[in-house]
Structure 1
């Protein structure tokens, strides 16, 4: 099928025998054109299949109602729930969300930021690909020069000038550590994020603190991953292939926990033989009669707080950067 060329204002102008300026005015400032002329132009636009350029209209408008949302893992149910909360709050304020998934790639994150800057968004909510203290993406300086409101969510860059919403990761680790102590567990396999991740480090610190406070020895083995399911599955399966069976497995996020549980299932290891605990709620686990101790956070609150911080900065560019911490709680 031949490609259909996009209909332009010039095409409409030729069709009705008027100038480009008159047609443009009828489409963008209809009150400036005589009613009869305006109706003639609009009828021609409909007939030709003209579609307005939303980006160009956006640039002409005095008020930007577009918010960029950049996440490294849109397939993670935790982020999906947070995004839903952000989108709902944005709609209440007549803002539209432009979502970009970087799939954990720094180069795609760079492109995402450049794209949002080109769209002249009103602000950005950013969950970076890494929260390693050494991660310093080049786009930071461009965001600062643009004086663009930015709020970091969950994973954060080690900078002080952007507001942020973070989870109480240390308490999450401690809560699960205390539960493991109660279960008389002394050997733990921790399937974590990257070693350099501050989230991983904080959760590990909370786990170790729980054992130290109880005066119970802890034999801890860490297998670092990238907060996704497949590496966790491979690490758990590899551990089992070597004939080892931990007393407990601690998944450092929802996808890691699910990956570990799948590997245990495939290896025909009973849930009675290995205790599994994890951070983040396991959706629909109760349907399959699966009970897992989880340290959870209110995802709706996380999204709500993130966009409220962004609106705060949009409405008052001089507002100081703030941090909001989302509390951890234990469920089963």
Structure 2
């Protein structure tokens, strides 16, 4: 029966034990359907090989079912994995992804303007969000549907008209530091991103909170126990050398990313306990603990938000702001 052109929406409804309208809602406006019911219908769709008539739906709804996403120069390995996960999720919803190159927020606005003039795009997903990012405001002014992967870190962070999904990096770093403390580490230093990174500052706060809550160091003493630097291995090496001079008895290093953690590993020769963030292949190769972002949950929440906005379900159907917990990967 799979791949048979004779499979209809009624066949799916009968197999899932729901109404044909519920199946239609799962396909066209999934945010209207309870998650358990949605998964039940999706399982029947996959089992029967049902293929919704996308062309007919696009003509009926005047939508292209296309989501645009910018690719930034030097995007991290986490972006590649996010893109793969997002592509898999859009495929289950019969959506398409349109990729475009961009380098700066201003450059991306130019690309968005061009796409709106020359392509049929239903919504935008923004990544690499910065403090007081100009892109959400521009998209709102032009009445575009969009969602952010990451908090806007400024005036828009609590704005209900700016939908975002993010990972609680502060809590992840706090829990990782607590894990080290519980396993006997006391001289725990931190290597983070430069001060202009709001995400970096948030993760730094997680380390501070864990250290002060455990009363291992005072706030003043912590000032010599962290270095803020660039996100590359050479900077991680330099940061470790600086920290070792100020703290000769280092027994653990909490890093804001796996890339920096790899630099610390190279410089320390693995003689201290090192933790990273993002659970990339390098953390598995060098066998240090890391923090994994729930990429499937992020992709699902972003697309739920976009489809909810497009269908006009209202803010009760899907939260505007979602802060998801990361997972500690202990090695």
Work out whether residues 258 and 283 of structure 2, in 8 Å CA contact, stay in contact via their aligned partners in 1. no
1:216 aligns with 2:216: yes
1:164, CA displacement in angstroms? 0.9
Return 5+ residue gaps in structure 1 as ranges: 1-57
Instruction: Say whether 1:309 aligns with 2:300.
Output: no
The match for 2:274 among 273, 276, 281 is 276
Quote how far apart the aligned CAs of 1:111 are.
Answer: 3.0
Residues of 2 paired with 1:117 and 1:231: CA distance?
41
Distance in 2 between the 1:167 and 1:73 partners? 22
The equivalent of 1:235 in structure 2 is 238
Partner of 2:254 in structure 1? Answer: 250
Q: Aligned pair 1:145/2:148, yes or no?
A: no
Distance 1:141 1:297, change over 3 A: closer
Q: What TM-score, normalized to structure 2?
A: 0.67
* Preserved CA contact (<8 Å) 2:258 2:290: no
Distance 1:192 1:285, change over 3 A: closer
User: 2 CA distance for matches of 1:72 and 1:97?
Assistant: 16
Partner Cα distance (1:234, 1:271) in 2: 12
Alignment pair present for 1:259 and 2:263: yes
Structure 2 Cα separation of the partners of residues 62 and 331 of structure 1: 45
RMSD, aligned CA: 3.1
1:77-226 to structure 2, matched below 5 A, reads 77-103=77-103, 105-118=104-117, 119-130=119-130, 132=131, 135-137=132-134, 139-158=135-154, 159=156, 160=159, 161-217=161-217, 219-220=221-222, 221-226=225-230
What is aligned with 2:25?
Answer: none
How far did residue 181 of structure 1 move?
1.4
1:330 partnered with 2:328: yes
Paired with 2:83 and 2:298, the residues of 1 have a C-alpha distance of 9
Checking the alignment, whether the CA contact within 8 Å between 1:172 and 1:328 is kept in structure 2 is: yes
SS at match of 1:203: helix
Give the unaligned 5+ runs of structure 2. Answer: 1-57
How many aligned positions are there? 260
Relative distance call for 1:83 and 1:244 in structure 2 (3 A) is same
Q: Write out per-residue CA displacement over residues 23-71 of structure 1, whole angstroms, 9 at most, x where no aligned residue.
A: xxxxxxxxxxxxxxxxxxxxxxxxxxxxxxxxxxx99x93222211135
Shift of 1:230: 4.8
